[in-house]
Structure 1
Amino acid sequence: MLKMGLTSFEDAIKEQLKERKNAHFMLVDGMSKLLTEKVNNFQSLDFQVSGLKWRLLIQPAVGVKDYLSVAVWIIDEKCTGPNWEVKFNFKIGLLPQTGPEYFYVSVGCHNEKQPAQGVVKFITHTQLKERFLVNDKAVFYAEISEEVIPNFLVTGIPRTMGTAERFKLIEVARNNSRFTWKITKFSSFNGEEHSSYEFTVGPRRWKLVMYPRGTGDGKGNSLSLYLNASNYVTNNGPKGRTFAVYKLRVLDQLHRNHFEIGMYVYVIILLFSKLYIFYMHISSI
């Protein structure tokens, strides 16, 4: 039984890490963004149990109003192709402000058709607010059993303690989050790649990178555009990944028939991580 009035979420997690070596905890700061569906899901960092990589996935329940869905997702590169299978037991739950934990225990069987498994109607928004939210923060966790049974050879290193991460959701006002890159003499570009100057949104800097003649699958027939994550604005605090909800748009200056694509993407810790690329066919430019 936990009493958050006597200790912080961070302290409670530290205590749990010592006792639950196969658990991964995720402190989410900014739960209201998910409850109002300004963000449609978030995922934990990869964590390893029994030689395999897993993630915790949290999102609004599909087709059910005012519920959260929580699932365990296996994302290991060894789990590819049509014939792999992993059997295991797992527990997903929430650390409360006071009283007993809230959790589900289930038997999992992941394969090509079902790489994620959990509870669609995990908890109502009302229950979450009454017992588990503290200053818009909540702590979710996934705990994998010791007996993980894959149908392929895996060499796992036993864990000595659990793992944890902090995930912060920040909403940036629209008038502070828009960047326009106007390119003159586009047809005279000779280089393969061109970059905008850096601009700041939220805690870090960004830039656009354009390939006039395409790159990857779009090479030779498309304009390709990347949003790149650069350095953080300050050196204070941890340098974790960034979850970005954004749109890339090419403006039609004649008919206002703009071309755009919206994305929900995670940027990993590495600097200059390329977030996403879209292809616009050259005939449309």
Structure 2
Amino acid sequence: MGLPSLEDTIKAKLKERKNAHFMLVDGMSKLLTEKVKNCQSVDFQVSGIKWRLVIRLSKGRKDHLSFVLEITDEKCTGSNWEVKFNFKIGIVPQTGPDYCFVLVGHQNEKQRSQGLANFISHKDLKERFLVNDKAGFYAEISDVQPNFPVTRIPRTMGTAERFKLIEFSPRNSRFTWKITQFSSFDGEEHSSYEFTVGPRRWKLVMYPKGNGDGKGNSLSLYLFASDYVTNGPKGGTLAIYKLRVLDQLHRNHCETDCRYWFPYNPVDPMDSLWGRHKFLPLEELHNASKGFLVNDQIYIGVDISIVSTTEYL
């Protein structure tokens, strides 16, 4: 018999680790090569409080990863809240003992996350824990003592998710919005029809006369994350993408690289909008020699290169 998969190893630990959350990151090479800057779990509850795991590139040592536990609970607002707790953060191996650290937590308004800035080196991760570009991280939380009332729902087993980073070729993720009679657009805001990349629907949102500090001087352009097309958890979605206005004469396109964690917030959909207020100066847009607006026609687009997906294990 061969070694068990990381998925099976994690599932086998859920019954004994009732207050733990596991995040299997599929696509670790994209983090190690800095194509993405961080990976974060969905929110999960332990002792009546919401938490989140975040794995990111270390700021102090470029050859290390940092690992922190964050409180994301809406009850933790204002200046007087605090939560004391104990926690363990670690990595799951295919076989043998975990690689882990036991820490004392104390979070409040000034410190909403705790962990280790230099949790593990890239070398150790690759040699000991990386399997088929996957690694399993976890946090186990105990002795939670908030200074405010909470409803504690005992957990019967741990929770686990697969966080996957999917890379697309431009052919499969490029969307172009052709707008004719551009000068006839009324109103401040205009949206493309929706298209699907990865787990969500998306659309482009354009302000032809500018928005925010671009109002009156620039064309403003954004990507908007709409609803999900999968049955997975409705957490944040990481997208790395390029917004574009095409030069129809010289192919000297106006392009801006963006990366953003798009939340799912039905109450305030504007949280799921990200781009540039000052994307293209109106002076350049209306300069016929630039080629952006030809015969009152413009092409606006987006190339989405990486998108994250999340599913429960």
TM-score computed with the length of structure 1 as normaliser: 0.82
The aligned amino acid for 1:37 is: E
CA distance in 2, matches of 1:45, 1:34: 18
Superposition pairs of residues 106-145 of structure 1, within 5 angstroms = 106-145=103-142
1:166 aligns with 2:149: no
In the alignment, which residue of structure 2 is the partner of 1:177? 173
Report how far residue 106 of structure 1 moved. 0.2
Report how far residue 99 of structure 1 moved. 1.8
The aligned amino acid for 1:168 is: K
What secondary structure sits across from 2:131 in the alignment? coil
Report the CA distance shift for 1:239/1:23 in structure 2 as closer, same or farther (over 3 A).
closer
1:186 aligns with 2:182: yes
In the alignment, which residue of structure 1 is the partner of 2:293? none
Report the CA distance shift for 1:277/1:124 in structure 2 as closer, same or farther (over 3 A).
closer
Gapped regions of structure 1 (runs ≥ 5): none
CA distance in 2, matches of 1:87, 1:191: 51
CA offsets, 1:77-120, max 9 Å, x none? 11111221111100000101222100011001111111000011
Do the aligned residues in 2 keep the contact of 1:244 with 1:267 (CA within 8 Å)? no
In the alignment, which residue of structure 2 is the partner of 1:245? 240
CA distance in 2, matches of 1:260, 1:253: 17
Report the CA distance shift for 1:250/1:76 in structure 2 as closer, same or farther (over 3 A).
farther
What secondary structure sits across from 1:65 in the alignment? coil
Gapped regions of structure 2 (runs ≥ 5): 283-313
Do the aligned residues in 2 keep the contact of 1:196 with 1:207 (CA within 8 Å)? yes
CA offsets, 1:112-149, max 9 Å, x none? 1110000111111111111111111111001111x111
Return the match for 1:64 from 52, 61, 66. 61
What secondary structure sits across from 1:12 in the alignment? helix
In the alignment, which residue of structure 1 is the partner of 2:99? 102
CA distance in 2, matches of 1:212, 1:86: 47
Report the CA distance shift for 1:281/1:68 in structure 2 as closer, same or farther (over 3 A).
closer
CA distance in 2, matches of 1:266, 1:106: 30
CA distance in 2, matches of 1:130, 1:98: 13
What secondary structure sits across from 2:60 in the alignment? coil
Report the CA distance shift for 1:159/1:282 in structure 2 as closer, same or farther (over 3 A).
closer
CA distance in 1, matches of 2:24, 2:265: 18
Report how far residue 193 of structure 1 moved. 4.7
CA offsets, 1:147-168, max 9 Å, x none? 1111222222111111111111
CA distance in 1, matches of 2:50, 2:72: 6
Report the CA distance shift for 1:196/1:96 in structure 2 as closer, same or farther (over 3 A).
same
Do the aligned residues in 1 keep the contact of 2:214 with 2:277 (CA within 8 Å)? no
Report the CA distance shift for 1:148/1:210 in structure 2 as closer, same or farther (over 3 A).
same
CA distance in 2, matches of 1:67, 1:203: 30
Report the CA distance shift for 1:156/1:227 in structure 2 as closer, same or farther (over 3 A).
same
Report how far residue 72 of structure 1 moved. 0.3
Report the CA distance shift for 1:190/1:124 in structure 2 as closer, same or farther (over 3 A).
same
CA offsets, 1:210-245, max 9 Å, x none? 355778x7898784634234564xx7x857654211
Do the aligned residues in 1 keep the contact of 2:51 with 2:69 (CA within 8 Å)? yes
How many residue pairs end up in the alignment? 275
Report how far residue 261 of structure 1 moved. 6.0
Report percent identity of matched pairs: 63
What secondary structure sits across from 2:180 in the alignment? coil
The aligned amino acid for 2:123 is: T
In the alignment, which residue of structure 1 is the partner of 2:41? 44
Report how far residue 15 of structure 1 moved. 1.6
